[in-house]
Amino acid sequence: MMASSQTAEPAKKVEPLLSTQEIGGTSPLGAVTMHQTINPKSPAMTETEFQLGTKIYFERCAGCHGVLRKGATGKPLTPNITLEKGSDYLHTFIYYGSAQGMPNWGTSGTLSKDEVDIMVKYIQHEPPQPPEMGMKEVLATWKLLVDPHKRPTKKMNDLDISNLFSVTLRDAGKIALIDGASKKIVKILDTGYAVHISRMSKSGRYLYVIGRDAKIVLIDLWMTTPTPVAEIKVGLEARSVETSKFKGYEDRYAIAGAYWPPQYVLMDGDTLKPLRIVGTRGMTSDTEEYHPEPRVAAIVSSNFRPEFLVNAKETGMVHMVDYSDLENLKVTMIKTPRFLHDGGFESTGRYFMDAANASDKIAVIDTKEDKLAAIVEVGKTPHPGRGANFIHPKFGPVWATSHLGDETISMIGTDPVKHKATAWKVVGTLKGAGGGSLFIKSHPKSTHLWVDAALNPDEKISQSIAVFDIKNLDNGFKVLPIAEWAALGKGVKRVLQPEYNKAGDEVWFSVWSAANEESAIVVVDDKTLKLKAVIKDKALVTPTGKFNVYNTQHDVY
């Protein structure tokens, strides 16, 4: 958040370059009561001002700067730094923002002058610490809604579950289950605050949905109508959930990681009953300094061992959690660059391509040998989602990532056997439509590469999609006007997260407007690049992530 002071007077209302609310997301911790520690060196604050500052911080800032303000995507905001900078400097920076990604909270009208003044004082005080949650507290949130013995022993509906889409309705706290063939909404289900992702059990029967409030809802897709059968809160704020995939352990365990408290919880796969809780606090991978808040970001399940790979964001440590013996739990720690976020497997499912986004690197982790295979320098702030696997005309199998901080797409060679010379190296860089990309996607049956730019400040870019012909990458990209095809009314209409259907012959896009404005899902024919369908419904409130059951179940991307 630190940068040189700006002195120009505010002119017209402008949109921030990148909103931390959108990158890091709002935090449910804003509603949690926290203790105020009085620092005599800090500007005086009333209790009312402090509580408002806490609410604003967790709604706007915590996603990037961290619960304890130690920094991650955003810079640290601890009092030793902010007190030295002084109130005038902090006011200017919060009000005007910076070209490095700090939103202009004042000139954009997001915060009033009084609210900016409160935040100037708030970040000069000691960060309040939210309450911890141990096994007693986690277990108290667990609800078994339908006992496994009372669930069906076979599929009781005629749904084509493998081509079902679980669609995040972010601001509604719900998901929509949409049939991939008919494009009809099968069911709207209540889940939790700001739903983040959906994950499938190995069998394809159970759908796990986690929201930013750390609430997990387990949905049984075999029932006559898909129905929640269990729920739990693994903390106060979270992002990730995954299930066991290794042979012999299919569907047996689930795991979820929390942003706060910094920990992960292992659970029974079919009931969500908590079994073990493991904290992530520890030393950073580079300077080996203690960090009190290593938030758990992406979690993936190994195909080669009974292990979960757990990203501890702030420390840069990947926890390889062996779930074969929970009583005598073994965790292998792999050092990678710091600020781990998202990532996915390359095409063989052996190597995890792990984005350390604030370090501008991809860590390559060998899940068969349990070791770091390589570190690859890429563009500015990689944000691949799961990334995209395809066959490059010259370099063979590659995995690609787009970036939040620039318009490039980095392609990394992923074949250490037949293409050893180019394995774990950037073999080529494409120029996309613009920075602010959140997701990139391809499919084994497709010859196209799709790249969004949902957070780009230019609405012509954020409301469209760039598509490359993999066989002719040098020809650049075509632009498809996805938001225009949706034919919506007013609204931001950010286009994001390409997701293929099971067959790999059509791609679904979210057209994401505000909660009080119309949104939609646009379906494009992957072969012709022409509009195939537009899904609209009043229930489709802020659709963001879409997860095809088959592709999610089998790590197809």
Residues with a catalytic annotation lie at 61, 64-65, 102, 341, 383
Q: Which two tokens stand for residue 353?
A: 């391509």
Residue type, 62: A
Residue type, 473: L
What count of other Cβ atoms lies within 10 Å of the Cβ of residue 207?
Answer: 26
Please spell the DSSP secondary structure of 310-341, one letter per residue: EEETTTTEEEEEETT-STT-EEEEEE--SSEE
How far is the C-alpha of 117 from the C-alpha of 91, rounded, in Å? 7
| Whether the Cβ atoms of residue 283 and residue 289 lie closer than 8 Å to each other | yes
41, with CB counted inside 10 A (0-12, 13-18, 19+), is exposed
How far is the C-alpha of 456 from the C-alpha of 477, rounded, in Å? 17
Rg (CA), the chain: 23
Beta strands across the sheet bearing 330-335: 296-301, 307-312, 317-322, 330-335
How far is the C-alpha of 372 from the C-alpha of 388, rounded, in Å? 21
How far is the C-alpha of 325 from the C-alpha of 82, rounded, in Å? 46
Residue with tokens 């099968």: 186
Q: Is 253 helix (H, G, I), strand (E, B) or coil?
A: strand
